[in-house]
Each structure stands twice: as C-alpha cells, then as structure tokens.
Structure 1
Amino acid sequence: MAITAELDAAFPERLTFAHDTDRARLSDVALKAYRRLAEQWGLSGQQAAALLDISMSTWERLKPEGRGKVLSQDQMTRISALVGIYKGLHLLFADDMADRWPRLRNKAPLFAHQSPIESMIGGGIPHMVEVRRYVDAARGGL
C-alpha cells in the first residue's frame, strides 16, 4: 500500500491534470508509483507501455528514475485510474491475489474472457475507469 500512500499525499484533492504546473509537480511521484505498480503486477515492458498508450522507446525513456519528465494529461489520468484499481484490489484481497488478478482471464462481461490488463489496453481510459468502478463495486465501495 506504499504506492497509494505516496499518491494520496501528492493528490490531496481531485485534479484534472489540465495545468502544466500541476503535472510538472506531480509527474515524478506518478511515474514512481506506476513503475512500482508495473513491477507488482508483473507487467511486461510492452504491457506497461501500452497501458500508458506510449511506444516501447518512450517507456524505456520514462522507466529510469529521473527528475523533470512531465507527463501529459492523458498519461496522468491513466496512472490515476490504474493506481485506483491497485488500491481497490489491495482493499478487496488480503493476499497476493490483489497483484495476480489484473493478469487473470475474467468471464465477467466487462472483460469478455480477457484479463483486465488486456481489456484495459484495448479499451483505453474509458475502460480503465470502468474497471476501477468494477473493483470498487466488488469491495462494496459504491
């Protein structure tokens, strides 16, 4: 849960990520959280890049710890949704299922027999938001 604690501190209120100054201030912590999430979920480089809707070469440039990389509004929104899913799964499951669930094939209509990761790669931000709602509803958060 260290990932979400850092982000909760960095994102005290709901943000739109529309302002360059906000994105510049928050990009380092968002990237750090996303790197950890990618590791926890066992994402391949290709999956990590696809979830952010960026090329592998761009992901390779973003992957190393470094300062000054300002993410786009779209990238910040994607990371926010994914971290929300991560947090919800860790509230829902008390074991390693929280980090395995995103890779498991799912029969729910939302996933159409794909893993949540595969379905979010295909569906982009709207689908990421739906997966977040699904996880929140499963844990009784709605």
Structure 2
Amino acid sequence: MQIAARTREPAQLDAIALKAYARVAEAWGLAQKEAAALADMSESTWKRARKPGFAGELTRDQLLRLSALIGIYKSLELYFSEPLARGWFTRPNTGPLFGGARPIDSAIEGGLPQILAIRTHLDALRGGA
C-alpha cells in the first residue's frame, strides 16, 4: 500500500490527513485551540485547513504530527472501550509519560517527540509489551 501513497500528489495526502485529523479532533472533543496546537498551526490556519479545498501545504512536521495523532486515536480505539478511548487523551494521567498531566497537554508542550512517544507507548500497550 505504500506504493499507492507515493503516487498521490502532496496536496491529496494533505487533504486526506487533514480530513482524518479533523474527525479525530471532533471525536476527542478538542477545542479549536487544542486541535491547532497539536497540529502546530495557528487557530486561523486550522479553521481554514478544516474546510474542503484548503490550498495551504502541510510541512513534513505537521504531516508527521497528524499521522501520529491518527495512530494514537486508532490505538486507543483498539485498546479501550469507547468512553475511555474517546476521553483518554484529555483526562489527567498518572502514567510515567504524563506525571498527572493530560496527555494532550503533554503532547502540545513536548511537540512531535512527545506525540511520537505517546504513540509508541500506546502501541506497546496494544502489543502487550
């Protein structure tokens, strides 16, 4: 399937990633400010990016963030039942990655490295490691 992804235009990949991430942000009940910060965008850019026909381009960092956040969402949906899966990212967590903070706040503050650490953590839980 990676071959198919490589044949798509960057604008198509951006549109797909933005659409999927918008659904994740909605499912998690994120405020616009939170969704924008996770995507490393201003709130005004996020408002525009959510609309079909967005002409802007995502940076490599933004695309990686969205991919990892979508992966976090998928892991949570597979690992937990729906109420916990939908609320996990926005509830305080005493786990070692979060120290009592909400995972979303940790991800916003830590940027892409922390987002990837959360994704790895959840993938390990899902895999039994």
The TM-score with structure 1 as length reference comes to 0.81
In the other structure, the counterpart of 1:94 is 81
Higher share of residues assigned helix: 2
Q: Does 1:13 align with 2:7?
A: no
Is 1:23–1:72's contact at 8 Å kept on the other side of the alignment? no
Q: Would you identify which runs of 4 or more consecutive aligned residues in structure 1 move more than 4 Å?
A: none
CA deviations 1:85-114 (Å, max 9, x no partner) are 011111101322111100010001211211
Q: Does 1:131 align with 2:114?
A: no
The secondary structure found in structure 2 opposite 1:100 is helix
In the other structure, the counterpart of 2:38 is 51
Q: Does 1:81 align with 2:68?
A: yes
Is 1:81–1:128's contact at 8 Å kept on the other side of the alignment? yes
Given the superposition, is the C-alpha separation of residues 117 and 85 from structure 1 closer, same or farther in structure 2, using an over 3 Å criterion?
same
Is 1:28–1:69's contact at 8 Å kept on the other side of the alignment? no
Q: Does 1:110 align with 2:93?
A: no
Distance (whole Å) between structure 2 residues aligned to residue 22 and residue 43 of structure 1 = 29
In the other structure, the counterpart of 2:106 is 119
Give the gaps of 5 or more residues in structure 2: none
Give the gaps of 5 or more residues in structure 1: 1-11
Question: Alignment RMSD, CA only?
Answer: 2.1
Distance (whole Å) between structure 2 residues aligned to residue 100 and residue 115 of structure 1 = 10
Identity of aligned residues (%): 45
